[in-house]
């Protein structure tokens, strides 16, 4: 290994940016050359996508260009699409170049497996989602159309989904928006979830969140069904296993996730679903110098459920993974091993006129502490403030220490 270590990071979202900033905090530019490769030139605050869909934010308000922020931390930015990873030669191939590495951090996020549900578009079918900035923009247009031409709505998640929180945020947000516009009486809302009970969220539930969500949906006249396996979306309805078609003119369904194509196709790197197996340091179990953080990581479900629900990977959890991985890389360069930690989860779930704060430690049950679940308008204000503060810090090239989570 040369005196100046080469670190390549793939992905410019929570995992990639957090890893870059944390690595630079431990390794000077003279000690390590850090390159971040991402196909998108902007960082987007993904937890605010439901607000964009409801017209409460624009994409410009929740994003910033990566290049200047990374340059302020002496991190080189390459706007390129990864095409392959050769773990034997330690080279990342992209659409424009080859990037040799001593250490590699895979923070590529996910590929939305929309093909799992026929009709789940938005660009090749009538269904809508919000797992990318482009899809969220399209969904915002569908919501505007719904306001002018009301009809029934289904909000749900497909079998095998792991990102369940937005289902609730979208249902509550749509209810809140329709009531403000005096259109709620014209729009029946139904929630379909693969969860065995409300609030399972792929982590086995969290304290009293089940009872809270049941009461909140019933209070707002939002119908719901659990253990639902959505099988098809048409322009008029959502079909599910064992159920009659449910009328819907605006169907919003969160898909299951898979690993991005370049990672999935690289020999010996990922499991059959394209996710990367790692140890407690987020090091690849076989490939030398390779780490993975965030959605790219292979994590088993918390439990077996009648309809599959996969383990969640939130922004807060992704940052914990990135910090552990970055510290381990710095430690290995110094000749020893970094520390590990069990993942916890803290998030604020928007309910339109208020929010719910949840703290779970550890994420996977059984847990050392009874989960904290708190509801109220102050949490909504805290979520709004956190969004602004987080973007302010990250845009200026520094991580924001937080105990709030999202």
> Over the stretch 14-30, which tens digit does the pLDDT of each residue have?
999 999 999 999 999 99
| Residue 212 forms part of a structural domain | yes
Measured at the CA of 42, the angle between CA 142 and CA 352, to 5 degrees, comes to 40
Is residue 199 helix, strand or coil? coil
| Rounded average pLDDT over 197-219 | 97
The torsion angles phi and psi of 73, rounded to 5 degrees, stand at -110, 15
Catalytic residues: 163, 347
| Rounded average pLDDT over 96-119 | 96
Place of tokens 């383990």: 311
Query: What is the pLDDT at residue 336?
Result: 93
Residue at a domain's end among 254, 273, 308: 254
pLDDT exceeds cutoff 60 at 1: no
Contact (Cβ atoms closer than 8 angstroms) between residue 269 and residue 291: no
Residue at a domain's end among 291, 311, 342: 342
CA neighbor of 321 nearest in space, from 349, 281, 350, 276: 281
CATH of residue 226's domain is: 3.50.50.60
Neighbours of 398 (CB within 10 A): 15
| Rounded average pLDDT over 60-75 | 98
| Rounded average pLDDT over 229-258 | 98
pLDDT digits (tens, 9 = 90+) for 217-243: 999 999 999 999 999 999 999 999 999
Assess whether 126 and 250 both reside in one domain.
yes
| Residue 387 forms part of a structural domain | no
pLDDT digits (tens, 9 = 90+) for 318-371: 999 999 999 999 999 999 989 999 999 999 999 999 999 999 999 999 998 999
| Rounded average pLDDT over 48-75 | 98
Query: What is the pLDDT at residue 279?
Result: 97
Query: What is the pLDDT at residue 347?
Result: 93
| Residue 308 forms part of a structural domain | yes
Assess whether 127 and 248 both reside in one domain.
yes
Contacts of residues 361-368 at CB distance under 8 Å and 24 or more positions apart, as own/partner, are 363/203, 363/302, 363/311, 363/312, 363/317, 364/203, 364/204, 364/302, 364/311, 365/203, 365/204, 365/302
Parent domain of 291: 5-110+259-342
Measured at the CA of 42, the angle between CA 36 and CA 46, to 5 degrees, comes to 105
Assess whether 133 and 204 both reside in one domain.
yes
pLDDT exceeds cutoff 90 at 401: no
Assess whether 241 and 266 both reside in one domain.
no
pLDDT digits (tens, 9 = 90+) for 56-66: 999 999 999 99
pLDDT digits (tens, 9 = 90+) for 115-158: 999 999 998 899 999 999 999 999 999 999 999 999 999 999 99
| Rounded average pLDDT over 38-61 | 97
Assess whether 11 and 60 both reside in one domain.
yes
Number of domains in the chain: 2
pLDDT exceeds cutoff 80 at 404: no
Contact (Cβ atoms closer than 8 angstroms) between residue 372 and residue 207: yes
Query: What is the pLDDT at residue 402?
Result: 55
CATH of residue 312's domain is: 3.50.50.100
pLDDT digits (tens, 9 = 90+) for 260-313: 999 999 999 999 999 999 999 999 999 999 999 999 999 999 999 999 999 999
């Amino acid at each position: 290994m040369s005196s100046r270590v080469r670190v390549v990071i793939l992905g410019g979202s929570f995992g990639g940016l957090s890893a870059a900033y944390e690595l630079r905090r431990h390794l000077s530019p003279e000690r390590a050359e850090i390159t971040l490769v991402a196909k998108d030139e902007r960082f987007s605050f993904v937890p605010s996508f439901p607000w964009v869909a409801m017209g409460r934010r624009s994409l410009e308000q929740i994003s910033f260009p990566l290049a200047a922020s990374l340059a302020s931390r002496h991190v080189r930015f390459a706007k390129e699409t990864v095409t392959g990873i050769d773990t034997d030669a330690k080279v990342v191939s992209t659409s424009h170049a080859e990037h040799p590495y001593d250490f590699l951090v895979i923070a590529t996020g996910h590929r939305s497996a929309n093909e799992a549900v026929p009709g789940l578009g938005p660009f090749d079918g009538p269904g809508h989602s919000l797992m990318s900035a482009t899809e969220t923009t399209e969904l915002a247009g569908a919501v505007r159309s719904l306001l002018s031409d009301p009809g029934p709505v289904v909000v749900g998640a497909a079998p095998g989904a792991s990102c369940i929180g937005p289902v609730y945020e979208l249902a509550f947000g749509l209810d809140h928006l329709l009531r403000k516009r005096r259109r709620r009486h014209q729009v029946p809302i139904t929630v379909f979830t693969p969860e065995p009970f409300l609030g399972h969220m792929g982590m086995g539930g969290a304290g009293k969140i089940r009872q809270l969500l049941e009461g909140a949906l019933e209070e707002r006249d939002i119908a719901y069904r659990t253990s639902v396996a959505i099988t098809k979306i048409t322009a008029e309805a959502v079909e599910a296993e064992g159920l009659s078609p449910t009328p819907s003119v605006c169907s919003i369904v969160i898909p299951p996730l898979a690993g991005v194509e370049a990672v999935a196709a690289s020999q010996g790197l990922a499991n059959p679903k394209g996710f990367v197996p790692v140890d407690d340091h987020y090091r690849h179990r076989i490939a030398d110098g390779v780490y993975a953080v965030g959605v790219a990581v292979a994590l088993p479900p918390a439990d077996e459920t009648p309809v599959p629900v996969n383990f969640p990977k939130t922004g807060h959890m992704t940052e914990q993974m990135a910090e552990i991985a970055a510290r381990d890389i710095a430690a290995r360069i110094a000749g020893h091993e970094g520390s590990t930690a069990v993942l916890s989860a803290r998030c604020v779930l928007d309910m339109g006129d208020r929010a719910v704060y949840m703290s779970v430690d550890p994420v996977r049950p059984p847990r050392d502490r009874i989960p904290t679940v708190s509801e109220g308008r102050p949490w909504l204000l805290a979520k709004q403030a956190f969004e602004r503060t987080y973007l302010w810090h990250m845009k200026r090239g520094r991580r924001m220490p937080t105990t709030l989570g999202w």
